[in-house]
Amino acid sequence: MSEHRSPGPSADSVPFGETRSGEKVFLHTARNGDLELRCIDYGAAVQSLEVPGRDGAGENIFLSYDDLAGYEEDTCWCGVLCGPVAGRIAHAAFELEGRLYALEANDGTSCLHSGSTGFSRSVWSGKTFVTEETAGVRFHLSTRPGQWGFPGALDIAAVYTLSAHSLTISWEAEATSPTLLAPAFHGYFNLGGPHCESIAGHRLALDADRFMPLDERHLPCIPLPVDGTPFDFRAPRSPEHAQWAKNLQIALGNGYDHSFLLNSPGDCRTPDIVLEHPGSGRLMEVFTDQPACVLYTGGSLSPAQRFSGGRRGAPGMALALETQWYPNAAALSDLPQPVLFPGEVYRTQTEFRFIRARSER
């Protein structure tokens, strides 16, 4: 927990460690107003984001690891960037321009988050920046043609920009030949801070009339209406799922692990997602231009995992809000594929805006 502060934007970088293969990894820190962001080159992972609560004290709202070994041994994509394609791809293969491309099957017969390496286990090149009103880190990565099974080479940047009240994650990429690109940020939020054991005391609202149910292989299917289901978050409520335990979809995901199709992505007038922890006074509004958001309530988190501060994992200790393209679109003919062509520039962004409540409601 840090003391209340309101300095101008600043940023710096220090060594964080070396990977098992000998690659150097740096820790980058950006500060602005009452917010402080720490992220590392490995997976471009967010290690912490300190946000003030009602009492003005900043606390880390993300799950993370204390050292590089934690990230190298990670099994839950904690705080990293996932890609080139986030989520599951059925049969670990896709067809593009008449050719079939085989991927790594790292989740049964499916490819999850582009395999066991992808963006999330790559060492990105991070550089800090400071402007008059912002501070942040620009991460860069270049891939080889055919790397991880995807055609063409990618030149991609992920930029973390810290304003006085928000964190924005923006992407920019180009490809040498037609390829799929649909990345996502896989941070686990708990707005109650590191001493809050569960998301049960949170309130979540999702501006989404439809969700994508899962099949028996955990693959997203054609969207259905949320009306009358446990997936209706159009009015704020707890994301805790115990009351829905007998629902087949909740059982398949061991909680929520489902994509919601946002009603008005790109409309900056109202948030697409709102997450609140009344006990701490922290409220987060999410604005995105992506068409979907996967709500994952950490069903696979377990006591075998040891997070920062010695915290042991447990289902429901934090949740991910993965703004992204329609998951499994490569296998669903009714949804457009996320194809990036040479000469195009891929751009997208998601803003996490923080508001501090003055009194508990």
Q: What is the pLDDT of residues 259-301, one digit of tens each?
A: 999 999 988 889 999 999 999 999 999 999 999 999 999 999 9
- Encoded amino acid at 129, one letter: F
Kindly state the average pLDDT of the residues 132-153: 97
Q: Helix, strand, coil shares of the chain as percentages rounded to 5?
A: 10, 45, 50
Statement: residue 2 has pLDDT above 90? no
Kindly state the average pLDDT of the residues 178-193: 98
Kindly state the average pLDDT of the residues 42-57: 96
Q: What is the pLDDT of residues 291-314, one digit of tens each?
A: 999 999 999 999 999 999 999 999
List the Cα angle 349/350/355 in 5-degree steps. 145
190 is written with which tokens?
């708990």
Query: How long a stretch of residues is the chain?
Result: 361
Judged by average pLDDT, the poorest of 3-17, 62-76, 118-132, 198-212 is 3-17
Nearest to 166 by CA among 262, 260, 55, 284: 284
- Identify whether the C-beta of residue 25 lies closer than 8 Å to the C-beta of residue 121: no
Rounded CA separation 38/29 (Å): 5
Statement: residue 54 has pLDDT above 70? yes
Where are the extended beta strands (E) located within 123-269?
A: 125-130, 135-142, 154-162, 166-175, 179-180, 184-186, 188-189, 203-206, 208-212, 224-225, 257-262
Q: Which of 186, 202, 241, 258 is catalytic?
A: 186
- Identify whether the C-beta of residue 257 lies closer than 8 Å to the C-beta of residue 215: no
Burial of 235: CB neighbours in 10 Å, binned 0-12, 13-18, 19+: exposed
Q: What is the pLDDT of residue 269?
A: 87
Judged by DSSP in three states, 206 sits in strand
Q: What is the pLDDT of residue 5?
A: 57
Asked: is 10-356 a CATH 2.70.98.10 domain? The reply is: yes
Helical spans, DSSP H, in the chain: 68-72, 248-253
Chain mean position to CA 87: 11
Count of other CB atoms within 10 angstroms of residue 3: 8
Q: What is the pLDDT of residue 267?
A: 84
Q: What is the pLDDT of residues 190-223, one digit of tens each?
A: 999 999 999 999 999 999 999 999 999 999 999 9
Q: What is the pLDDT of residue 344?
A: 98
- Identify whether the C-beta of residue 203 lies closer than 8 Å to the C-beta of residue 218: no
Rounded CA separation 109/7 (Å): 50
- Encoded amino acid at 173, one letter: A
Where are the extended beta strands (E) located within 176-223?
A: 179-180, 184-186, 188-189, 203-206, 208-212
202 is catalytic: no
Residue 29 host element (H or E): strand 24-32
Q: What is the pLDDT of residue 1?
A: 54
Q: What is the pLDDT of residue 22?
A: 97
- Identify whether the C-beta of residue 184 lies closer than 8 Å to the C-beta of residue 83: yes
Q: What is the pLDDT of residue 3?
A: 52
**CB under 8 Å to 271, separation ≥6 — which residues?**
207, 285, 286, 287, 353
Statement: residue 102 has pLDDT above 70? yes
Q: What percent of the chain has pLDDT over 90?
A: 92
Judged by DSSP in three states, 147 sits in helix
What are the residue ranges spanned by the domains of the chain?
A: 10-356
Q: What is the pLDDT of residue 359?
A: 59
Q: How far is CA 91 from CA 102, 110, 143, 152, in A?
A: 9, 5, 23, 21
186 is catalytic: yes
Partners of 160 in beta bridges: 137, 169
Judged by average pLDDT, the poorest of 35-44, 310-319, 351-360 is 351-360
Kindly state the average pLDDT of the residues 135-151: 97
Judged by average pLDDT, the poorest of 129-138, 181-190, 237-246 is 237-246
Q: How far is CA 281 from CA 273, 277, 356, 357, 360, in A?
A: 17, 6, 6, 5, 7
In this structure, what DSSP letter does residue 65 have?
-
Rounded CA separation 121/42 (Å): 6
